[in-house]
Amino acid sequence: MSDKLHTLQKKINIKFKSINYLKKAITHKSYDPLNNYEKLEFLGDRVLGLVISKKLIELYPDQKEGVLDKRLASLVNKNRCLEVAKNIGLEKFILIGNKSNKSKIENKILSDCIEALIGAIYYDKGFEASEKFILNMWKSFINSSDVSIVDSKTKLQEYSLKKFKSLPIYKLVSSSGPKHKPKFTISVKLKNTKFFEGSGNSKKKAEQSAAKILLDSLI
């Protein structure tokens, strides 16, 4: 056990003052019904939301609350936590009872444990250390193109309503590809513009892409 905890500390580059916090963060209730990660997960979820919210306000000081809220939702969710857990290789360290069906609960446990780990770091090292850990682990997501265009459609709608008192017009241009890998192309225009096209693997993403291209043309 001590070897496993030592390896995990090296993996995340954090040395705990109280190793019990780290042990609890990777302990599922099926392994220990009393000393497990559930309360640390509750805390870690709040710390994660606070850190990412603070970072988004620093990066986008002029954006409206609704846009920031959507950015936050794209960064603080179980899927993002799962990706971070897999990047760390956290599945090798989790303590879980033999009777649990790992194939069904593995992903949920992994994402829960990342939040619990954040809670453990907060308890043991304080806010600055947990903030540093989160920003390091979430850096690629914060900088990703998906986040940067997360609300282009809403921006375009707000611009169109303010300037023309009308909504943007979207049209499906084409859809192609197999079911598991579709490609949609959608065009959009405002009252005084031509149609601009964007593509994506869903209609929603294609609309976002088209909206961003049109917005860029207005700059």
Q: Which residues are identified as catalytic? A: 45, 115
Backbone angles phi, psi at 173, to 5 degrees: -85, -45
Q: CB burial class (10 A; 0-12, 13-18, 19+) of residue 162?
A: exposed
Is 33:140 a contact under the CB 8 Å cutoff? no
Is 87:137 a contact under the CB 8 Å cutoff? yes
Residues 38-60: b if buried by 16+ CB within 10 A, e if exposed:
eebbebbbebbebbbbebbeeee
Is 19:121 a contact under the CB 8 Å cutoff? no
Helix (H, G, I), strand (E, B) or coil at 29: coil
- Selection from 44, 52, 51 nearest residue 113 by Cα: 44
Q: Which token pair is 125?
A: 């090292």
- Degrees to nearest 5, angle at CA 214 with 198 and 212: 65
